[in-house]
Amino acid sequence: MKYAGKDRRGPMLFKKNKDILSKGINFLKSNFADVQNVFTQHKSLLHTIIELMLQNKLNERDFPYMSGNTPDLPDNIIVFMIGGATFEEAREISEFNKTSQCNIILGGSTIHNSKTFIAEASDLKSLD
């Protein structure tokens, strides 16, 4: 009671929809209601590039080898990430392979987890 009793509580702690905090919580609950896992909501740059490529909408200036807007998609796509890919990118490629007509293969110099990524980023800092 000394730590969290009535004297210690902030104003309107248990009144619904009366303050900004509860409105924010309700907003977040409504936006994440249909999400199975909030940690898988982020989409990587690789996901965006593959999605645009499958829709034949890649920017020709950035991807000149995709020019000509051919209507046929390739049967196989090989993506090699110099510097390494992440487990998130591997998961996204797996999801594409389940739903797309073409087979996407992901390769890289390594598969990063949080520790290896931070270690490599700190090595880059020392090169400056």
Q: Which domain holds residue 65?
A: 42-126
Residue 75 is assigned to a structural domain of this protein: yes
What CATH number did the domain enclosing 59 receive? 3.40.50.1910
Strand partners for 111: 85
Q: Could you tell me where the beta strands, DSSP code E, fall in the chain?
A: 76-81, 85-86, 103-108, 111-112
Number of domains in the chain: 1
Q: What is the pLDDT of residue 13?
A: 44
26, 48, 75, 116 from 121: Cα distances, Å: 37, 23, 35, 9
Residue 18 is assigned to a structural domain of this protein: no
Could you report the per-residue pLDDT of 47-104, keeping only the tens digit for each?
Answer: 988 988 888 887 778 877 765 556 677 788 899 998 889 988 999 999 999 998 889 9
pTM higher than 0.75: no
- Count other C-beta atoms under 10 Å from residue 92's C-beta: 23
Contact 47, 92 (CB under 8 A): yes
Q: What is the pLDDT of residue 79?
A: 92
How many angstroms from the chain centroid is the CA of residue 72?
28
Residue 33 is assigned to a structural domain of this protein: no
DSSP designation for 104: E
